[in-house]
Amino acid sequence: MLGFGARRALGLVGGRGGSSSFRWAVGVRSYHERVVDHYNNPRNVGSFDKSDPAVGTGLVGAPACGDVMKLQIRVDEQSGRIVDACFKTFGCGSAIASSSL
């Protein structure tokens, strides 16, 4: 969940105070409602048993901002197709929203 300050900065809640230039800058940088929805309600968050031979795990990070994402897929051994996927992301709202599958 977004904290009150983050929701206010995204324009999701009203509030008094602040300069008009701050409100203008926030208005320009507001996230689309779908991005906010994926942040608040990310799809397929979780983890598979990494010892399962049908599970593949990838880990990626962005040293510049500190975001880290673990993506796991489960592959059907017969068909070789991905049958399930999940992720865990530690980072900013846009990183979490863009990880939502």
In a domain, 5, yes or no: yes
CA 15 – CA 6 distance, rounded (Å): 12
Q: Are residues 57 and 79 in the same domain?
A: yes
Number of domains in the chain: 2
Q: What is the pLDDT of residues 72-96, one digit of tens each?
A: 999 999 999 999 999 998 888 888 8
Write the CATH number for 89.
3.90.1010.10
| Predicted local confidence at residue 3, as pLDDT | 56
In a domain, 67, yes or no: yes
Report residues of the chain scoring pLDDT below 70. 1-29, 101
Bridge partner residues of 49 (DSSP): none
| Predicted local confidence at residue 53, as pLDDT | 95
Beta carbons within 8 Å of 83's beta carbon, 6+ residues apart: 74, 75, 76
Residue 5 CB neighbours (<10 A): 10
Nearest-5° angle of CA 75, CA 89, CA 76? 5
- pTM recorded for the entire structure: 0.62
Owning domain of residue 81: 43-99
| Predicted local confidence at residue 77, as pLDDT | 93
In a domain, 38, yes or no: no
Q: Are residues 48 and 95 in the same domain?
A: yes
In a domain, 36, yes or no: no
| Predicted local confidence at residue 28, as pLDDT | 46
